[in-house]
Amino acid sequence: MCNLVNKYNVAGPRYTSYPTVPYWNMNTFSLKKWKQSLQQSFNESNNAEGISLYIHLPFCESLCTFCGCNKRITKRHEVEQPYISALLKEWSLYCDVLGAIPKIKELHIGGGTPTFFSPEHLQQLIKGLLRNATLAENYEFSFEGHPNNTTEAHLQTLYDVGFRRVSFGVQDYNETVQKAIHRIQPFENVQRVTELARQIGYTSVGHDLIFGLPFQTTEHVQETITKTKLLAPDRIAFYSYAHVPWIKGNGQRGFNDEDLPTATEKTAQYNLGKTLLQEADYTDIGMDHFALPTDSLYTSMIEKRLHRNFMGYTAQKTQVMIGLGVSSIGDSWYGFAQNVKNIETYYGLLQENIIPLSKGHLLSEEDLIIRKHILNLMCNFRTSWTHETTQIPELSNITEKLKEFQRDELIQLNNNTLIITKKGKPFVRNICMAFDVLLQRKKPGTQLFSMTI
């Protein structure tokens, strides 16, 4: 395994989309075309399945140096109301584009720190969104909570407006690691919010854990997961720290590169964590996710309904996902669009009644075919190109690249069908890269992605 880690530890995308953001083609994209693709997809799918909403709340009171998300650090809570008003204005612009009342199937609030906002402002946001929408059957509302500032009022208020799933960022319980990433939160805080959520009635409580953090060791991972098992969260994200300081600037420079575990050490951390979680009845779902058999993510995997988008793995798929807030990304299936990242620019465009996009991409027929293959691999660990509608001209080059994975026993190739083996699951990102013709055609001049291991 050590040799495989060294061989395949290269910079690569996490594939929450295809094409990946650095390879979006702005030459063929426009706000007008984005609206058209959204209308087409909405008309095709809204009555049948509804839409998803992702809402980005960027404010944090302090900087966590492991974080690669778009955020603004402030302790001034008077920023809350203007931002809520802007989100509702953006939603009204999208409702005008859709031309009919949308049916919300899935809604997720991320950040930043969503629980930076008061319970009253979060309630105002959700009720404002729902004034222009209906709810789909079996809808799912979820949010990301910070264990240090999530209150009983946050949990109760959001539960009362439909939330049943919450995830808490834990990362690691070791004090040295926490100091390095500027995220000090004792186990007692996580225990408090986990138990509160269950008492209120949340049906899925998740914990987010990270391996590969500065100064982190396998002993730290063992300690963290041992404590995590005491609380038995319904699902766990256990993923690799994405070190991208060349993109995120000083936000990821609270420590030196030599303070990070090596690729071999990271692999040992992941393998240990995975073993400990499986011993506690967790099943690995897709890439870097684990769930108990009672959780909807597990059920969706068993029923082949698991989906992956800019929100990560989801238990249900919608063809339309609208992103609200700075830096949010929307997905019409036929196109992607990302909002501006600067809050003041975001406000200015909304004042002009303009959907505040900064860039986007319209998918070609080739993009759509490759996107399906990558989704199949990320969600089901297999894909097939037996039918001509699943083939592209460069397929022979792709299959040639796949032979190396086959020699290393990471995949099985039979009758135009690819199956990722148990040994190959840790290398799913690398296998997806073989299908990424845009990455093959135009190698980046500088490193754009985190390492795959």
Share of the chain above pLDDT 90, in %: 81
Dig out the tokens for 194 from the structure.
Answer: 């986990």
- If you search the block for the tokens 């505040």, which residue do you land on? 356
Could you tell me the CATH number of the domain that includes residue 150? Answer: 3.80.30.20
What is the C-alpha to C-alpha distance for residues 186 and 419, in angstroms, rounded to an integer? 42
Give mean pLDDT, residues 144-170: 97
325 plus 430 within the same structural domain:
no
Separation between Cα atoms, residue 450 and residue 14, nearest integer Å: 8
| Percent of the chain predicted with pLDDT > 70 | 95
pLDDT range class, residue 312, cuts 50, 70, 90: confident
User: Which residue did the predictor score with more confidence, 309 or 255?
Assistant: 309
Domain boundary among 333, 362, 391: 362
Average pLDDT over residues 156-171: 97
Cα distances from 264 to residues 80, 208, 289, 352, 404, in angstroms, run 43, 22, 20, 52, 21
**How much is the pLDDT for 2?**
66
Residues 6+ apart with CB under 8 A from 72: 58, 59, 60, 112, 343
Statement to judge: residues 149 and 286 lie in one domain: yes
**DSSP class per residue in 54-94:** EEEE-EESS--TT--S--EE---GGGHHHHHHHHHHHHHHH
Same domain assignment for residues 33 and 150: yes
Query: Do the beta carbons of residue 435 and residue 374 sit within 8 Å?
Result: yes
pLDDT per residue as tens digits for the range 8-56: 888 788 898 999 999 999 999 999 999 999 999 999 998 888 999 999 9
End-to-end CA distance of the chain: 12
Residue 66 vs residue 415, higher pLDDT: 415
Would residue 256 count as lying in a domain? Answer: yes
What domain count does the chain have? 2
Contact 167, 123 (CB under 8 A): no
Residue 99 in any domain: the answer is yes
pLDDT at 109 over 80: yes
Q: Do 342 and 433 sit in the same domain of this protein?
A: no
Radius of gyration of the chain (CA): 21
Whether 29 and 156 share a structural domain: yes
CA distances from 165 to 47, 160, 389 (A): 24, 12, 37
Supply the DSSP string of 247-291, one letter for each residue. HHGGGG-SS-GGGSPPHHHHHHHHHHHHHHHHHTT-EEETTTEEE
Q: Check whether 408 has a pLDDT greater than 80.
A: yes
Residue 12 lies in a domain: no
CA distance 75 to 70: 17
Q: Is residue 14 part of a domain?
A: no
Sign of CA dihedral 260, 262, 267, 268: negative
Query: For tokens 């008003």, what's the residue?
Result: 85
In a shared domain, residues 201 and 319? yes
Examine the pLDDT at 246 and tell me if it is beyond 50: no
Quick one: pLDDT at residue 249? 47
> Residue 370's domain is classified under what CATH number?
1.10.10.920
Q: Are residues 411 and 308 in the same domain?
A: no
For residues 122 and 244, membership in a common domain is answered with yes
| Domain of 426, in residue numbers | 365-440
- For residue 184, what pLDDT is reported? 92
Q: Which own/partner pairs from 130-133 qualify as long-range (CB within 8 Å, at least 24 positions apart)?
A: 130/104, 130/161, 132/91, 132/92, 132/95, 132/101, 132/102, 133/95, 133/101, 133/102, 133/103, 133/104
More reliable by pLDDT, 5 or 334: 334
In a domain, 445, yes or no: no
Q: Three-state SS for 209?
A: strand
Evaluate if residue 252 carries a pLDDT over 50: no
336 and 369 fall within a common domain: no
Q: What angle do CA 73, 68, 122 make, to 5 degrees?
A: 55
Average pLDDT estimate for 83-109: 97
Q: Are residues 105 and 63 in the same domain?
A: yes
Of 74, 9, 7, 90, nearest to 270 by C-alpha is 9
Give the pTM.
Answer: 0.92
In-domain check, residue 2: no
Write the pLDDT tens digit of every residue in 438-447: 988 876 655 6
Residue 3 covered by a domain: no
| Residues 315 and 370 reside in one and the same domain | no
Average pLDDT score, the chain? 92
Same domain, 229 and 294: yes
Point out the domain boundary residue: 308, 340, 362.
Answer: 362
Q: Which of 362, 387, 404 is the last residue of a domain?
A: 362
Provide the residue count of the chain: 453
Q: Which two tokens stand for residue 418?
A: 């690819």
Of 87, 102, 94, which is closest to residue 34 (Cα–Cα)? 94
Tell me if 7 is assigned to some domain: no
Evaluate if residue 250 carries a pLDDT over 50.
Answer: no
Q: Kindly give the pairing relationship between strand 204-211 and strand 235-240.
A: parallel
